[in-house]
Amino acid sequence: MAIWHGNPTLDEINQSMGNCMPGYLGMKITEVGDDYLVGTMPVDDRTRQPFGILHGGASVALAETLGSLAANMVVDNSKFYCVGQEINANHLRPVPEGVVTAKASAVHIGRSSQVWEIRIQDPKGKLNCISRITMAVVPVPSQ
């Protein structure tokens, strides 16, 4: 059974990222599973550091994007929204080129917080970054 509150399409999710950081970095959501999201990001001039490998900050941006999208897809957005409280990342191996793929999976979904794990793999399927994000579930202010 799916954990999502709504049923957004991949097109709707990707369109929402078009005019902000995820869109500028070339991120795309490629799969919505019952309890996970998958997305990709190219390793190119936008996402590399000066030494020619994927920038750790770009990996964290990908992790936060997937974790934030997933967290907000779990709640009723007319009543709640989710914001990042803490994120960490371990960068395990360099990625000089290609496309990295990230999978966000829920660790904890509570009334006031959520924890998501994001595993990022290089083009050969090797783990290059593992991240965890804690999201605060915040009530929408009454009008």
What positions carry a catalytic annotation?
A: 64
Cα 116 to Cα 1, 72, 104, 108, distances in angstroms = 18, 12, 6, 7
Distance CA 15, CA 25 (A): 14
Give which of 15, 142, 143 is closest to 69, Cα–Cα. 15
